[in-house]
């Protein structure tokens, strides 16, 4: 899969010199954490299940693509709030635009069978594995 689980290093003495600065600058250059799409990926025997939280978005605002083993989930939302007084004058107006995008890498997916459902701000995507997925092949040493 695209993400790599790394164990957290609890000992200061086991750190590599580069570990001290590996996340330096991330708060300045990364996207707003409130804009991040919270996603859970579960592997089952016959499929992967992707569950993404997209609160406040409509189904029409979401785009899902699967190309060359890369699942891309993107969403664009535009909100325009306007409050007027009794005479029709604008007393308060706010606009916001949010664009989010996440990508995940999968191998051995039956592309024609991918299914997606969106209900109450939760996007569920089922990625069925191909028949060959998960099988290991023994390689003989010459």
Assigned token pair, 39: 């996603």
Which token pair is 118?
A: 């969106």
What is the Cα 121 distance to its own chain's centre? Answer: 14
Q: Residue 69: CA atoms inside 13 Å, Cβ hemisphere, count?
A: 8
Q: Is the pLDDT of residue 111 over 50?
A: yes
Q: Is the pLDDT of residue 63 over 50?
A: yes
To the question of pTM greater than 0.85 for the whole model, the response is no
Across the chain, where does the E strand assignment appear?
A: 39-43, 47-53, 62-67, 70-84, 90-105, 115-119, 122-128
Is 90 exceeded by the pLDDT of residue 5?
Answer: no
Give the Cα separation of 37 and 104 in Å (integer).
12
Q: What is the pLDDT of residues 80-104, one digit of tens each?
A: 777 778 887 877 777 777 888 999 9
Region 52-81 average pLDDT: 90
Structural domains in the chain, sorted by start:
37-128 (2.60.40.790)
Q: Are 107 and 133 in contact (CB under 8 A)?
A: yes
Report yes or no: 39 and 79 within 8 Å, Cβ to Cβ. Answer: no
């Amino acid at each position: 899969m695209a993400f790599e689980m790394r164990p957290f290093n609890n000992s200061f003495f086991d750190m590599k010199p580069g570990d001290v600065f590996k996340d330096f600058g991330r708060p300045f250059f990364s996207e707003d954490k409130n804009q991040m799409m919270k996603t859970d990926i579960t592997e089952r025997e016959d499929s992967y299940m992707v569950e993404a939280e997209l609160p406040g978005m409509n189904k029409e605002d979401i785009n899902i693509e699967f190309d060359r083993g890369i699942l891309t989930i993107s969403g664009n939302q535009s909100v325009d709030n306007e409050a007027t007084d009794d005479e029709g004058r604008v007393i308060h107006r706010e606009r916001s635009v949010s664009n989010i995008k996440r990508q995940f890498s999968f191998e051995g997916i039956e592309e024609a069978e991918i299914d997606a459902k969106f209900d109450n701000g939760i996007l569920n995507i089922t990625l069925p594995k191909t028949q060959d997925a998960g099988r290991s092949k023994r390689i003989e040493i010459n």
